[in-house]
Amino acid sequence: MEYDLELDKAVAKIKEEKAKMVLLQLPDGLKDKASEIVDYIQSKVDATIFIWLESNWGNCDFPIVDDIDLVIQWGHNNPSELMAKPGGVKWD
């Protein structure tokens, strides 16, 4: 199955932020596509792209790395789409 990784949205965000050092955080299932993803993004922006090789368990597993201008994370839905707060109130 092919996924739409919305790479053009990532490119647009990098340009919008004028980021020069970008860290991509991919779930383990996409890490085999990392070089293709980096090649595509680097062909569109003037930035150095790094791949986070540690595990990625969700948006709470956010890497703190010095000298990185922007972190882009793939593979996880907005928590409001996944669950509701106790009492049926949706997450903001």
Q: What would the 3-class secondary structure string for 2-62 be?
A: CCCCCHHHHHHHHHHHCCCEEEEECCHHHHHHHHHHHHHHHCCCCCEEEEECCCCCCCCCC
Domains and CATH numbers, the chain: 7-82 (3.40.50.11840)
Please tell me the predicted confidence (pLDDT) of residue 11: 97
Please tell me the predicted confidence (pLDDT) of residue 60: 58
Q: What is the reported pTM?
A: 0.73
The model's pLDDT over 16-52, given as tens digits with 9 standing for 90+, comes to: 999 999 999 888 888 889 999 999 999 999 999 999 8
Share of the chain above pLDDT 90, in %: 41
| pLDDT, mean over the chain | 78
